[in-house]
Amino acid sequence: MKTLDSAVAIHEITQHTATPERFRVYTARQLDQIPQLRQLSEQQRFDMRVVASVLPFRVNQYVIDQLIDWSAVPEDPIFQLTFPQRGMLAPEHFERVARALREEWPAAEFNALVAEVRHALNPHPAGQLEHNIPQLDGERVEGIQHKYRETVLFFPSSGQVCHSYCTFCFRWAQFVGDKDLRIAARESSRLCDYLRAHPQVTDVLVTGGDPLVMKTRNLRACLEPLLAPEFDHVRTIRIGTKALTFWPQRFVTDEDADDLLALFEEIQAAGKHLAIMAHYNHWRELEPTIARQAIARLRATGAQIRAQGPLLAHINDDPAVWARLWQTQVELGIIPYYMFVERDTGARHYFEVPLVRAWEIYREAIQRVSGIARTARGPSMSSDPGKVEIQGVTEINGEKVLALRMIQGRNPDWVQRPFFARYDEQATWLNHLQPAFGEERFFFEQD
């Protein structure tokens, strides 16, 4: 009977048990229309307007109603995840923009100031524009990034928005309306051309923004060509998404939810591995019933869900939060994949955690879960040379050092190379570290 009951439960949770919900979104222009914000002071609401003038803001009604504990605002982690906070801008930037708002500067002057502040926030870190966009027949292939030999990232133009925006997002520059800062492909034919010329590519990651804001018919137009025999070398299709948190209705009650799941089944029937790269920052995102329905329906297609997200001050810089997150993911059939270090862009000074402390949090969290949940790698920096993992603090020949490892590299020969940096309690990113043992450069800097 237990087996039968479990089968019935899975069947029931994968059905349309929720009432269709209309998607309603608020942007910076509609901040004053969110009733819950009236509990904040006038100064807090003004501070939000200042920050939202520089960094993108977008939140939907589901997040407001289902994920935020308004009795705990402003400390609530999901509120911090989605609503602008004063500390997200450096004091000098905040004061300049605040003054311009108070004095009601002309649009042209105000926009010029905002653009100046944005460019000071390192809008495209880790060589995204300079080193990652490839060429084909002597021309840049816009909307594609190819940093690692086996993996190509594809940015479909209609997927360069999200159901809600994360305040820490390292791709925030995609969403501010500046075409010079945006990475997007107008059509998928160039992706196919590029893949034909690069048979070493085994993985295509469709990313954004969030590709699952796209209608299924548009997503299908991007993915179906990859199922043709000429692309047999592409073994895995990955889809990067936050929809399981910000709009789980996409998989359950949206008009084309069934079509989306059918597309996922078709991809796998064609012999491809389909990996949904889900973005989670806190266990609270997994609690709503419809979020769990979405996960169950998605898994029922055969797709694999891998979860990743950065370690963030104000949101999840607590081992207990990560341990509960990973354990809950395992219980729901999700594979913990990466704990990232907050990237050196946007509001990084508000969210960043020193690397030593990041490793301590990771270690304490891993100690609290079983081996099944210890698949999460990290803390990992997605830096210019590659993904660098902090493996611990140790002492070698009397010198206290950070032990690091190159998980993935721009140069394939770098992969799995261990190296060491001087112990530094303040460092928050790779470029803050110095080589240990008197070396002048790290090995990847010499190359």
pLDDT per position as a tens digit, 253-272: 999 999 999 999 999 999 99
Nearest alpha carbon to residue 174 among 56, 276, 84: 56
> Which has more pLDDT, 343 or 407?
407
pLDDT at 10 over 60: no
pLDDT for position 128: 58
**Which domains does the chain show, CATH number per domain?**
1-19+123-302 (3.20.20.70), 20-119 (no CATH), 305-447 (no CATH)
Average pLDDT, the chain: 92
pLDDT at 15 over 60: no
pLDDT at 8 over 70: no
CA–CA separation, 256 vs 25, rounded Å?
A: 19
Average pLDDT over residues 167-196: 78
Q: Give 20's pLDDT tier (boundaries 50, 70, 90).
A: confident
pLDDT for position 138: 87
pLDDT, tens digit, 9 for 90 and up, residues 289-324: 999 999 999 999 999 999 999 999 999 999 999 999
Nearest alpha carbon to residue 428 among 360, 354, 361: 354
pLDDT for position 19: 75
Q: Could you tell me which residues come within 8 angstroms of residue 38 by beta carbon, excluding any fewer than 6 positions away?
A: none
pLDDT for position 4: 35
C-alpha to C-alpha distances, 112 to 54, 69, 116, 141, nearest whole angstrom: 11, 37, 6, 29
pLDDT at 9 over 50: no
> Which has more pLDDT, 182 or 379?
379
pLDDT at 387 over 60: yes
> What percent of the chain has pLDDT above 70?
92
pLDDT for position 123: 79
105 touches 116 (CB < 8 A) = no
- ∠ CA 247-248-251, nearest 5°, is 120
pLDDT for position 446: 81
pLDDT at 383 over 50: yes
Provide the 10 A C-beta neighbour count for residue 251: 27
pLDDT at 1 over 60: no
Q: Give 127's pLDDT tier (boundaries 50, 70, 90).
A: low
Average pLDDT over residues 376-401: 96
pLDDT for position 175: 80
pLDDT, tens digit, 9 for 90 and up, residues 94-119: 999 999 999 999 999 999 999 999 99
pLDDT for position 185: 62
pLDDT, tens digit, 9 for 90 and up, residues 26-78: 999 999 999 999 999 999 999 999 999 999 999 999 999 999 999 999 999 99
C-alpha to C-alpha distances, 121 to 10, 98, 104, 209, 358, nearest whole angstrom: 46, 17, 24, 19, 22
C-alpha to C-alpha distances, 242 to 192, 297, 380, nearest whole angstrom: 26, 16, 19
Average pLDDT over residues 349-366: 97
CA–CA separation, 54 vs 93, rounded Å?
A: 9
CA–CA separation, 147 vs 2, rounded Å?
A: 48
| Least confidently predicted of 124-133, 231-240, 436-445 | 124-133
pLDDT at 13 over 90: no
Q: Give 2's pLDDT tier (boundaries 50, 70, 90).
A: very low
